[in-house]
Amino acid sequence: MLFKCLFFKVFAGSLTGDYRLRLLLFKYVFFKILIVQSFILFQLLFFCVLNCGKNSSANYANALDPEYVALPSILNSLKYSICATGLDVLVGLTIAYLVVRSRIRGRQILDALAMLPLAVPGLVMAAGYIAITRSGSFLEPIGPWKDPTVLLIIAYAVRRLPYIVRSCIAGLQQTAVELEEAARNLGATPLRTMWRITLPLIVANIIAGAMLTFSFAMLEVSDSLLLAGRSTHYPMTKAIYSMMSISDTVGIAMAMGVIGMLLLTATILGASLLLGRRLGAIFRI
- DSSP characters over 121-134: -HHHHHHHHHHHT-
Confidence (pLDDT) at 91 = 94
Q: In whole angstroms, how far apart are CA 194 and each of 101, 130, 236?
A: 11, 38, 37
Q: What is the pLDDT along the chain (285 residues), one digit of tens a residue?
A: 444 444 444 444 444 344 555 555 555 555 555 555 555 555 555 555 555 555 567 777 767 777 777 788 888 998 999 999 999 999 999 999 999 988 888 888 888 888 888 888 888 888 899 999 888 888 888 888 888 999 999 999 999 999 899 888 988 888 888 888 888 888 888 888 888 888 888 888 888 888 888 888 888 888 888 898 888 888 988 888 888 877 777 777 777 877 777 777 777 777 667 665 545 544 444
Can you tell me the distance from the alpha carbon of 98 to that of 105, in angstroms, rounded to the nearest whole number? 10
Looking at residue 211, its amino acid is M
Can you tell me the distance from the alpha carbon of 241 to that of 252, in angstroms, rounded to the nearest whole number? 11
Tally of domains within the chain = 1
The enclosing domain of 34 has a CATH number of 1.10.3720.10
Confidence (pLDDT) at 5 = 46
Looking at residue 60, its amino acid is Y
Q: Is the dihedral of CA 242, 246, 248, 253 positive or negative?
A: positive
Confidence (pLDDT) at 7 = 45
Which has the closest alpha carbon to 160: 87, 257, 96, 259?
A: 87
pTM, two decimal places? 0.76
Can you tell me the distance from the alpha carbon of 68 to that of 242, in angstroms, rounded to the nearest whole number? 12
Give the structural domain span for 208. Answer: 2-283
